[in-house]
Amino acid sequence: MRNRITASGGLPAARDLPTIVAISIVAFAIANLLHEGIGHGGACLLTGGHAKALSSVHFDCSRDNRFVSAGGTLVNVTAGLLCWIAIRFLRHASGHLRYFVWLLMTVNLLQAGGYFLFSGVGNFGDWADVLAGLTPVWLWRSGLAIVGAVSYVLVVWLALRELRPFLAKPDWRRGGAKDLTVVPYITGGILYTLAGIFNPVGMMLVGLSAAAASFGGTSGMAWMTQYLGSKFAPKTAGPRCILQRSRGWIIAALITTTIFIGLIGRGVSFP
């Protein structure tokens, strides 16, 4: 039997790529549902509105207000911070679970920081709605863009520091450990885009929401490993995280993909 080769280090069977893809699908789908369903949906209910429709790229509430618009990102930030806390209690848990929590933290926080920057610069999306009517416009947008840029850099720093326990000597070279960051980035982007294609609102949201939240919002995952071993993310000594083939995660990913693309992607209407 031929040994499977990982994307970083060329070591056999240390990290199984199909399992990494599976964990990534579950993490990205949960982050999306936290944003649209729990965030926007929860804020809608709390302000006396009722849900009209939900898809992977939008939530339609009977009552529009700043809190509903901000709710998605606020829940992403909250979920990301809770995952950061949870990591401290999972030191002896399986590598699969620890990696999933790290990935869920990273995706939630990167999408939140990216949204601030995206809305501040482009004046589009949830936070453009939050700022609507506030003056002077240029000051609010500039402040939001600065908060987004600063928070994004801080999230990349935090994600790299929390990634270090997963790494061993082969991963510390420049650009190493790409299987733990780039593979999820590509996987999440494809998942969001495929689901977005079926959305009931229109194709414009595929680019402005689905691709923006994944390929744009989590783009830090595509380049963050370049800073491993630098002062930004100093080296640490530790055992290499083993992510062997997991049928459970792969089955969970197949179920998640079916529901996320086939149901949530097409949209769910509420009476």
Q: Is residue 2 part of a domain?
A: no
User: Residue 69 sits in which domain range?
Assistant: 17-262
pLDDT of residue 5: 40
Separation in Å, CA 236 to CA 164, 228, 251? 7, 10, 34
Q: Is residue 11 part of a domain?
A: no
User: Do the domain assignments include residue 218?
Assistant: yes
Report the amino acid identity of residue 170.
P
d(CA 233, CA 156): 10
| Eight-state DSSP code of residue 224 | G
Closest listed residue to residue 76, CA positions, set 148, 177, 162, 19: 148
- pLDDT at residue 156 in the model: 96
The domain total for the chain is: 1
Query: 213-233: per-residue pLDDT in tens?
Result: 778 889 999 999 988 888 888
Would residue 7 count as lying in a domain? no
Integer CA distances (angstroms), 86 to 104, 122, 245, in order = 11, 34, 24
The pLDDT of residue 168: 79
112 Cβ contact list (under 8 Å, min separation 6): 73, 76, 77, 80, 151, 155
Q: What is the per-residue pLDDT for 242?
A: 79
- Confidence at residue 3, expressed as pLDDT on a 0 to 100 scale: 40
Residue 267 domain flag:
no
For position 14, what pLDDT does the model report? 76
Residues lower than pLDDT 70 in the chain: 1-13, 174-175, 202, 204-210, 237-240
Reported pTM: 0.91
141 within domain boundaries: yes
Q: What's residue 230's pLDDT?
A: 85
